[in-house]
Each structure stands twice: as C-alpha cells, then as structure tokens.
C-alpha cells in the first residue's frame, strides 16, 4: 500500500503529529531572532586544506557577525564528533552547524539536539534520510551535489580517454555522504561506455597518505591500470606520489582525476600530473549563517540548499590558482 504523509497523520497536537507508523513528526525547533548568538560548529577533522578552508570560513563569518563560535574538532572520530555535539547541547548553544563525518553515527546526537530544542543545520555532509530527515529532524542540508560531481568527473574522463580506461577508484571516508554519492555518480555514469572498467575500488579515507598507500597496493595488484579516480584531491596527490614511486608518469602512463579544487591540486594540473578536478567549494561561512538568519526569521527553507561547483582542467587551472584554497 502506498503510504502518503496525509494518510499517515492521525493526530495533530500543538504542531506535533503522530504518524500511523507510531513515529512522532514535528518540525525542527525554532530559532529566536536575536542580536547575537552562541553558535556551535562541530568539525570532523583538520587534516586537509578543504577542512581548514571550511573552518576558516565559518570562523571568519561568525567574527564578522559578532557571534560567539563554539568550535570543536573530532580528529577523524565520529564517536568524538557525537560527544562534541552532545557537549554543545549541554552548553546551551543556540544552533549547531554540523558536517556529519559519517551518515549514520551522528544521527542520535542530531535527535538529542532536537529534543533539547536546538536546531541543527547540516553543512557539507548529509546523514542517511532513513534515519533523520531534513525539515523534520534538522533544518536543512547545505552542500554540493556529490552524485553530480562524480558524474562530471566520469564524463570528463571518458571524453579524455575516448571511452577506454582501466580504473582504480580511491573512495572517501567509508559511510560518508560524499564517498557514497561520488561513487554512485561516477560508477553509474561510466556504465554508458563499455570500455570504461573499474579494476578496484577501495577507501583512502579522504587522506593523502592513506591514498598513497592504497594506490601503491592497488597499482601492484593491477599494473594494467590506465586511470585513477580519487574522491578528493588529497588522495589524488597521494596516488600521484605512488605512481611516481612505481616509476610511472602521472598524466602519461596513468591519468588521474579527482574532486575538490584545492591549491596543490590546481598546481598539479598546471604541472601536468593531475588531469582534472571538479570543484567542491568549502567556503560555507556566508551561506551557513545567512541560512541560519532566514530560519530565525521564520522563512520556509528547502530541505536541500545546493552549492554550485566549477570544474578545473588544463584550460583554466592557471586562472584559478591564486584564489584556490
Ligand atoms: O571533498 C574532502 C573532505 O565533505 C565534501 O570532505 C567534503 C569532503 C571533501 O575531507 O576533501
């Protein structure tokens, strides 16, 4: 039977509805309009330029607005990030900005914030919508369309190699929304070309050294590799180091493509080592805080607020080097 929201709502008391499934539905907690706010930002880790740029953007914007920013760094641990969120709840912040490291383990902390009357805005990464929903358990998700990023890289690569490649894929953090969706976008898109084949796909946790190690192992197992698709630039740069250590010439023997658009990657394009990268903008501050103010003003927000991304290759890398993060 098709269950619609309408036939699921059986009771409605003070904005709280009880669904036929037994699960209570209610909007995320409201946010008061105030002169200043105490705002939580629970970062996942600080081990790459993308994260550092995101943190700087959030800090700069909070400073500009004169808001107090409670900042934590989960040091690559979803468990620590959950306890960071819980401690922000205990400190009574007005609102929490969260890039959930993985898409399931942060859900209980998000629901705790809701229970405590603190709205959560997800930035940069989303959670599993089967467990928590935008417009219900949290306000909205602001970020790039990761499926589309994967598709754009796939299309660019297929064109560059004339539909013929034996590919190693380096995945981001297991269970993170960008890793899930960049894989889905790319893997589904290349099915259009019968000559595009993924030899191996393994996580490098979005980290440069892990990417290097995994690429080294996979290149040994698959010496016939002609292309590497990394879910972020840091792993692509690690893979380039692995190729060079193996006596291969990146850009000639093996073509490397990735996502993010960090300065080192843009430089690697100029140097001919990286072929292309789809931008993923980390500068969330202005949009995150303006969204928060719109929410406080009672505006109806969409469940998803999309960041738009550029695409860099040898044609435009020089133009964007100075502004890249
Ligand atoms: O691509 C990566 C970072 O969540 C979109 O996480 C972000 C990704 C970004 O560590 O470099």
pLDDT tens profile 137-192: 999 999 999 999 999 999 999 999 999 999 999 999 999 999 999 999 999 999 99
Q: What is the pLDDT of residues 62-79, one digit of tens each?
A: 999 999 999 999 999 999
DSSP string, 24-48: EE-PPPP----S--EEEEEE----S
Which domains are delineated in the chain? 11-143+287-307 (3.40.50.2300), 146-280 (3.40.50.2300)
pTM (2 decimals)?
Answer: 0.93
**Cβ of residue 53 lying under 6 Å from some atom of ligand 1:** no
Q: From the CB of 232, is ligand 1 less than 6 Å away?
A: yes
**Dist. CA 292 → ligand 1 center (Å):** 22
43 CB near ligand 1 (under 6 Å) = no
Question: What's the pLDDT score for residue 178?
Answer: 98
- The answer, yes or no, to whether any atom of ligand 1 lies below 6 A from the CB of 206, is yes
- SS3 call for 180: helix
Atom of ligand 1 nearest to the CA of 143: 5
Ligand 1 pocket member 280 (CB < 6 A): yes
Residue with tokens 């394009």: 269
**5 Cα to the center of ligand 1, angstroms:** 34
- Using the mean position of ligand 1's atoms as its centre, give its distance from the Cα of residue 178 in Å: 7
- Between the two ends of the chain, the Cα-to-Cα distance in Å is 50
- Which residues fall within 8 angstroms of residue 233, CB to CB, at 6 or more apart? 50, 258, 259, 260, 261, 262, 264, 265, 274, 277
Q: Is the CB of 50 under 6 A from ligand 1?
A: yes
113 lines ligand 1 (CB under 6 A): no
The answer to whether the beta carbons of residues 37 and 88 sit under 8 Å apart is no
Contact 258, 233 (CB under 8 A): yes
Average pLDDT score, the chain: 94
Nearest to 255 by CA among 279, 226, 231, 235: 226
Q: 25 falls in which pLDDT band (50, 70, 90)?
A: confident
Q: What is the best residue among 46, 74, 206 to mutate for testing ligand 1's pocket, by most ligand atoms within 8 Å of CB?
A: 206
Q: Which atom of ligand 1 is nearest to the CA of 206?
A: 10
Q: What is the pLDDT of residues 188-230, one digit of tens each?
A: 999 999 999 999 999 999 999 999 999 999 999 999 999 999 9
Query: d(Cα 226, Cα 246) in Å, to the nearest integer?
Result: 14
Taking the C-alpha atoms of residue 227 and residue 209, their distance in angstroms, rounded to an integer, is: 19
Alpha helix stretches (DSSP H) within 91-203: 107-115, 146-160, 177-190
Burial of residue 226, with CB atoms counted within 10 A of its CB: 0-12 exposed, 13-18 middle, 19 or more buried: middle
């Amino acid at each position: 039977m098709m269950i619609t929201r309408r036939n699921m709502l059986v009771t409605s008391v003070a904005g709280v509805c009880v669904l036929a499934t037994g699960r209570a539905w209610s909007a995320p907690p409201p946010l008061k309009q105030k002169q200043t706010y105490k705002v939580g930002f629970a970062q996942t880790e600080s081990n790459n330029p993308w994260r550092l740029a995101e943190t700087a953007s959030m800090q700069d914007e909070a400073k500009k607005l004169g808001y107090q920013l409670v900042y934590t760094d989960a040091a690559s641990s979803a468990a620590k990030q959950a306890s960071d969120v819980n401690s922000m709840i205990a400190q009574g912040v007005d609102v929490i900005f969260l890039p959930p490291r993985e898409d399931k383990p942060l859900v209980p902390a998000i629901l705790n914030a809701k229970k405590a009357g603190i709205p959560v805005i997800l930035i940069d990464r989303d959670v599993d919508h089967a467990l928590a929903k935008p417009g219900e358990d949290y306000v909205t998700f602001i970020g790039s369309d990761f499926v589309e990023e994967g598709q754009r890289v796939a299309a660019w690569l297929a064109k560059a190699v004339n539909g013929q490649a034996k590919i190693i894929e380096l995945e981001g953090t297991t269970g993170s929304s960008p890793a899930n969706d960049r894989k889905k976008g790319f893997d589904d898109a290349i099915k259009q070309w019968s000559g595009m084949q993924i030899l191996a796909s393994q996580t490098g946790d979005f980290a440069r050294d892990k990417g290097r190690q995994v690429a080294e192992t996979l290149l040994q197992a698959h010496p016939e590799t002609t292309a590497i698709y990394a879910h972020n630039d840091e792993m692509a740069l690690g893979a380039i180091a692995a190729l060079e250590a193996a006596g291969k010439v990146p850009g000639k023997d093996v073509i490397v493509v990735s996502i993010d658009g960090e300065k080192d990657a843009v430089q690697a394009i100029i140097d001919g080592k990286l072929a292309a990268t789809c931008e993923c903008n980390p500068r969330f501050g202005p949009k995150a805080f303006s969204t928060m103010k719109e929410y406080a003003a009672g505006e109806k927000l969409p469940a998803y607020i999309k960041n738009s991304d550029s695409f860099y290759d040898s044609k435009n890398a020089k133009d964007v080097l100075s502004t890249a993060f």
